[in-house]
Amino acid sequence: MRKSVLNLMAKQVVATAMGNKAVLLLMWLVVALMVYATITGVATFRTQTGIRKQFQQEVRKHWEEMPDKHPHRMAHYGYIAFRAKHPLSIFDFGVESYTGNAVFLEAHKQNSVNFSEASFSTGLLRFGEMSMATILQVLVPLVLFFIGFGLIATDRENGTLKLLLSQGASWKEIMTGRSLGLMVVAFTFLLAALLLLLTGMIVSSAGFTLDGSLRLLFLMLTYGLYLAIICVTAVVVSAVAARARAALAGLIGVWLLFAIVLPRTTQAIGTYLYPAPSRIAFETGVEKNILQLGDSHNPDDPYFKRLKDSVLKVHGATSIEELPFNYAGFQMREGERMSSEVYNRHQQALLRTYEQQNKVARLSAFLNPFAAVKHLSMAMSGTDFQSYMRFQQQTEAYRYRLAQHMNELQIKLVSNKKLLPADKPYSISSAHWKAFPDFSYQGLTGAAAIGAEALSLAALLFWAALLTVLVSSLSKKLKAV
């Protein structure tokens, strides 16, 4: 391929795009939307981060200020964990609006993560959110299709294609050149997005880290590849179509299928194939399993009776008051361990079901590059399903640690003697509360997040390879008329 021909082909594309008033209007509209998405994204990030930080600090302060008391009371006082937003969440909102933001962590009970933006929504949210990611994923391709549909088809219609070919330009050169030209337009959008994102990150004072920069770099590469795929698709369809009108109809069809129809359909198929339990079914399932093991609320439960007898036997005691440690704490520790094991088993099964539901959409990336970029983008922005699961798992782990720590304190420090109604309740020093660390969410590293999305990355590369092969095979077969 000759550089000068490619250059010429590409330049014509840019000139056509810039010369068309309607296209220019659309391009400016997209840029304006990007600005709007950045402003609202940053505003929401700042308020939400501020609110959550403030409450997280308040919760910690209250926790540390708790006076001397019985450790089990602290286990019930519990902790509240708030989900922190990833700095890049201003770029891609992902599933964040649909996941809860606060969870109350207490002994014996796994509470749901509540107060998602979706639960506060009027139904408006279901139309989608305006984030820079959705603009790049959905709207920019549409604009590129509007610019690209005629790039070869129009030349064919008005006979210039024949002229070009007779003057010595090869099909490969025409297609590559046109694609490159369209990519110039596409990358201009990407550059605008990058600049806006950087500005947004500075304004939102989220701070730059090495990990953040790696994520940002990878995001840009992903979107670059995605938009390149879109550009080549437009040119290929335009080259194959007999008329410009047919090319436009085909591209609109492709866009509707990829961006609107397939995402919903694949997810619906996943839900159909792997039905998930309702809350009540889940709760009754957990409770049933726990009751099978032993019911710590039942004073005559055989499991806990046996446990008591064996403990008494080991210590050569006749009653729990003779034991050298607090038996109630010991029993609760055992109960917490058992119930948490059962709960975690059910919870893991539930999350696995969800992952299976999502798998259909993830695999569809090989049919639909939109799905690939969507998953990669959410993963890089820390707003994907993986991050949601991690938050849930880490809060549950923290809850368990907290409950068991309080049980340990009770076992070691609280007397076994039964109190008389008028006695002062047992209590231990408040220094123990301060010694228990605060909750802090540990996100995936950028590299690990990329690794978790290897499938989507493979799908995107598959598409790039497929189109490269297609272009070279088409350039041998295509006719000028």
Partner 1 sequence: MLFLLIKNFISSRVVLTGMLIVLLAGLIGIYNGKRHLERLQASIEQTAHFQQEHIGRNIQYHNKDMGLLLYYLRFAYINQVNPVNGLSIGQRDVNSSIQFINIRNLEAQKYDTDLYNPVNLLAGNLDLGFVLVYLFPLLIVAVTYNLLSEEKEGGTWPLLAVQSHSPVRVLLQKLAVRAMAIFALLALLFCIAVPVLSIPINQLLLAVIGLSVFYLLFWFAVCFWVVSWKRSSAGNAASLLTVWVLLTFILPAGINNYITAKYPVPEALATTVEQREGYHAKWDQDKRPTMESFYAHYPQFRKYPLPDKQFSWLWYYAMQQGGDDDAREQVAEMKSKLRQRAAASKRIGLLVPTLHTQLHLNTLGQADLENHLGFLDSTERFHERLRLHFYPSIFEEREARAENWSRFQPEYFTENPDLDRMALYLPLVLITGVLVALCWFNFRRVMN
Residues 62-91 within binding reach of partner 1 (CB under 8 A): 62, 66-67, 69, 73, 76-78, 80, 82
As measured in angstroms, the least distance from the Cβ of 76 to partner 1 is: 7
Q: Name residues contacting partner 1, limited to 32-61 (CB under 8 A).
A: 33, 36-37, 40-41, 43-44, 47-48, 51-52, 55, 58-59
Q: Name residues contacting partner 1, limited to 325-354 (CB under 8 A).
A: 350, 354
Counting other chains too, the contacts that 49-54 makes at CB distance below 8 Å and 24 or more residues apart are 49/84, 49/85, 49/204, 49/206, 52/82, 52/83, 52/84, 52/85, 52/101, 53/84
Q: Pick from 12, 104, 203, 466 the residue near partner 1 by CB under 8 A.
A: 104
Q: Does 108 bind partner 1 (CB under 8 A)?
A: no
As measured in angstroms, the least distance from the Cβ of 1 to partner 1 is: 30
Please identify, among the stretches 175-183, 219-227, 245-253, 333-341, the one whose residues bind partner 1 according to the rule CB under 8 A: 245-253
CB of 358 within 8 A of CB of 453? no
Q: How far apart are CA 269 and CA 375, in angstroms?
A: 18
Q: Pick from 5, 10, 89, 100 the residue near partner 1 by CB under 8 A.
A: 100
Q: How far apart are CA 12 and CA 9, in angstroms?
A: 5
Q: Name residues contacting partner 1, limited to 179-218 (CB under 8 A).
A: none
Q: Pick from 2, 53, 297, 306 the residue near partner 1 by CB under 8 A.
A: 297
As measured in angstroms, the least distance from the Cβ of 447 to partner 1 is: 23
For the chain, helix, strand, coil in percent to 5 are: 75, 5, 25
Q: Pick from 8, 31, 60, 111 the residue near partner 1 by CB under 8 A.
A: 111
CB of 212 within 8 A of CB of 118? no
User: Residues 415, 416, 417, 421: is their CA dihedral positive or negative?
Assistant: positive
Most distant CA pair in the chain: distance in Å? 106
Q: Name which of 2 and 76 has its Cβ closer to partner 1.
A: 76
Q: Name which of 221 and 273 has its Cβ closer to partner 1.
A: 273
Q: How far apart are CA 232 and CA 452, in angstroms?
A: 28
Counting other chains too, the contacts that 451-459 makes at CB distance below 8 Å and 24 or more residues apart are 452/379, 452/386, 453/375, 453/376, 453/379, 455/362, 455/363, 455/365, 456/362, 456/365, 456/371, 456/372, 456/373, 456/375, 456/376, 456/379, 457/222, 457/372, 457/376, 459/365, 459/366, 459/369, 459/371, 459/372
What 3-state DSSP class applies to 104? strand
Strand pairing report for 109-110 and 102-106: antiparallel
Give how many residues touch partner 1 by CB under 8 A: 104
As measured in angstroms, the least distance from the Cβ of 92 to partner 1 is: 11
Q: Name residues contacting partner 1, limited to 7-26 (CB under 8 A).
A: 22, 26
Q: Name residues contacting partner 1, limited to 398-457 (CB under 8 A).
A: 419, 421-425
Q: Does 281 bind partner 1 (CB under 8 A)?
A: yes
Q: Name which of 121 and 209 has its Cβ closer to partner 1.
A: 121
Q: Pick from 8, 194, 220, 276 the residue near partner 1 by CB under 8 A.
A: 276
Q: Name residues contacting partner 1, limited to 136-175 (CB under 8 A).
A: 138-139, 142, 146, 149-150
Please identify, among the stretches 278-286, 398-406, 409-417, 467-475, the one whose residues bind partner 1 according to the rule CB under 8 A: 278-286
